Amino acid sequence: MTKNATTLCEPETFEVTTHSVSCDGGAKHAQIQGSANGHPKVFMDMGQMDSVDCKYCGKRFVLKAEF
């Protein structure tokens, strides 16, 4: 995992329940709050993988393991 170029910190990681996710670069719960801080909203699909990283901010979205 690479560091966020803007903050030089490790990007946040989110557990999600679907293979399709979106990111707008906002605060930790930006998707729930509808914040548009950071970068244009992008939609990503994991395909057969269990995670995907945002190409703008590096946030990692990981498919939550089901037991």
Neighbours of 16 (CB within 10 A): 15
What tens-digit pLDDT sequence spans the chain (67 residues)?
Answer: 455 555 567 778 999 999 999 999 875 544 444 445 689 999 999 999 999 999 999 999 999 987 6
User: pTM for the full model?
Assistant: 0.70
Three-state SS for 10-50 is CCCEEEECCCEEEECCCCCCHHHHCCCCCCCCEEEECCCCC
Whole-angstrom distance, CA of residue 41 vs CA of residue 25? 8
Q: Which fold has domain 13-63?
A: HSP40/DNAj peptide-binding domain (2.60.260)
- The residue extents of the domains of the chain are 13-63
Contacts of 4 (CB under 8 A, 6+ apart): 10, 11, 57, 58
